[in-house]
Structure 1
Amino acid sequence: MVIVGAHTLSFREFCACGAPTFYGEKDPISMRRWLKDIDNAFVTNFCPKKAKFRYASCLLKDREWDWWDEVAREVDDDAVDVVSWDDFLTRFRAEFAPVIEVPLLTRDFQDLFQTIETMAKITAKFQKSPLLVPKYAIDEEIKKVRYHEMLQDDIRDYVTISGCKTLYDMISRAWERQIDLEHLGKNGPD
């Protein structure tokens, strides 16, 4: 438990705010999503900085817990008790988002183009990837342009960037077009 003002913050309260466990692999996208979810739980709970490491490390499971247990064994017991959140983040990122993979995944995102995938599959791939490319993660217009670029021709010709106010609007129109094309394919041209 951690005392916040006159209130003691329990681990149960921390977890109740949506703090997820981390079962991820060495995957920069999973790692970033987990850190974002953990950060949201910290903010919601007004979690003091000194408690962040302790609470977050308790959410590591399976192989991830084994990794942290090994790190803790390398550091003496007194040092583990004073591990800073920043130190934990540095070690965590180095382990679960190897530097070499981030540029490769970024390139995969920038080379992403729809071929035979359904709109559901290509949109899921698209929405997963911008976490690695900050300019895409924060700028809706850049995301719209990139999404439009990656659509297959018969969908892209139907969906215009200027005709869509939001990325969600563009995704909806692209899905509508896919349904129209599937319908035309089954019934033949009118």
Structure 2
Amino acid sequence: MACKPPIYNGEVDPIICQRWISDVEGVFERTHCDVGDFVAYGTGQLRGQAKDWWDNKKKEIGAEAARVMTWDEFKVPFLKHHSPKAVINRIKEEFIQLRQKGETIDKITGIFMDKLRFCDELFMTPSKYETLTEIINTAREQEIELKKQVERGERRAQDVNPSPTKKARTAESGKKADAKSGSPSCKVCGKGHKGECRFKDKPCPICSKTGHTASLCPGKVSVCCKCYQPGHKKSECPDLVGRRDVKESPAEAPKAKALLPTYCG
């Protein structure tokens, strides 16, 4: 406990969940914790919904099975519940579509690294840089130089960090240009272009098959941004629908009282 192992509150978020696993395992290693005590000490750091999940799991498998459970055996149901595949697929799709939209290099790098751990099967295009660190440091240097140019009046600020709205308009203009050029929409990437599609032989990060991109993947699952559960959108989330029903109920309350006078009092 002197090493301050992290607390986990049960967020259904693969990034937070797997970071907690990594941090706790680091504490086990530094303290030379006995392997047989991993589950006991690890689950002792669960709070809120995470502890509720573990308490329910112990009832489900029995106290003795929970006592002899290994750390690897614990991680299987733990990750299945708190790091569901549907949410990981959404992270992979966000990683592929990740673009800098006014964020600083450090900010976009943090987002990139968080999502990168779930995209091991993806590959980087060869370039003159040998490591990711070289690319990031070069981008930082360019960012600093661009800011200096703004301070000297050699460049406008919006050229350095263009707004998302401006980029969106540019993308929309590109789509209109494709439509005017008469190029049909590609069945692989969905964009209008001539010649063979360069994504044709690249595997989809969601289903690992070729012939389509992640945005057009037939195995793509809708994930709610409210509860992070698959199968519905935020506008259809049961949590929000329940709240709307509660808000509407006061208007119906007078009618209920009028219909059931003998049951009141």
TM over 0.5, shorter chain? yes
**Residue 65 in 1 paired to residue 51 in 2?**
yes
Larger-gyration structure (1/2): 2
TM-score by length of 2: 0.52
Structural mapping, 1:32-181, within 5 Å: 32-135=18-121, 145=125, 161-162=127-128, 164-181=129-146
CA contact (8 A) 1:20 1:59 kept: yes
Counterparts in 2 of 1:24 and 1:177: CA distance versus 1, 3 Å: farther
CA contact (8 A) 1:32 1:131 kept: no
Instruction: Give the letter aligned to residue 87 of structure 2.
Output: E
Deviations 1:113-159 (A, max 9, x none): 112222122111111111112256xxxxx56x59xxxxxxxxxxxxx
Q: Secondary structure at the match of 2:15?
A: helix
Larger relative contact order, structure 1 or 2 (CA cutoff 8 Å, min sep 6): 1
Q: Which residue of 1 aligns with 2:232?
A: none
Aligned mates of 1:116, 1:122 — CA distance in 2: 9
Please, which runs of 5 or more residues in structure 2 have no aligned partner? Answer: 156-265
Q: Which residue of 2 aligns with 1:189?
A: 154
Structural mapping, 1:11-26, within 5 Å: 12=1, 16=3, 19-26=5-12
4+ runs deviating over 4 angstroms: none
Counterparts in 2 of 1:24 and 1:72: CA distance versus 1, 3 Å: closer
Q: Secondary structure at the match of 1:132?
A: coil
Counterparts in 2 of 1:33 and 1:181: CA distance versus 1, 3 Å: same
Structure 1 residue 30: Cα displacement: 1.3
Question: Percent identity over the alignment?
Answer: 27
Q: Which residue of 2 aligns with 1:157?
A: none
Structure 1 residue 112: Cα displacement: 1.0
TM-score by length of 1: 0.70
Structure 1 residue 22: Cα displacement: 1.5
Instruction: Give the letter aligned to residue 152 of structure 2.
Output: N
Aligned mates of 2:141, 2:24 — CA distance in 1: 36
Instruction: Give the letter aligned to residue 47 of structure 2.
Output: K
Please, which runs of 5 or more residues in structure 1 have no aligned partner? Answer: 1-11, 137-141, 147-160
Q: Secondary structure at the match of 1:134?
A: coil
Aligned mates of 1:72, 1:84 — CA distance in 2: 13
Aligned mates of 1:165, 1:24 — CA distance in 2: 38
Structure 1 residue 92: Cα displacement: 0.5
CA contact (8 A) 1:28 1:101 kept: yes
Number of equivalences: 155
Deviations 1:13-43 (A, max 9, x none): xx52x53222351111111111112222222
Structure 1 residue 79: Cα displacement: 2.6
Counterparts in 2 of 1:24 and 1:117: CA distance versus 1, 3 Å: farther
Aligned mates of 1:122, 1:109 — CA distance in 2: 11
Instruction: Give the letter aligned to residue 39 of structure 1.
Output: E
Structure 1 residue 172: Cα displacement: 2.1
Aligned mates of 1:85, 1:173 — CA distance in 2: 41
Aligned mates of 1:132, 1:90 — CA distance in 2: 16
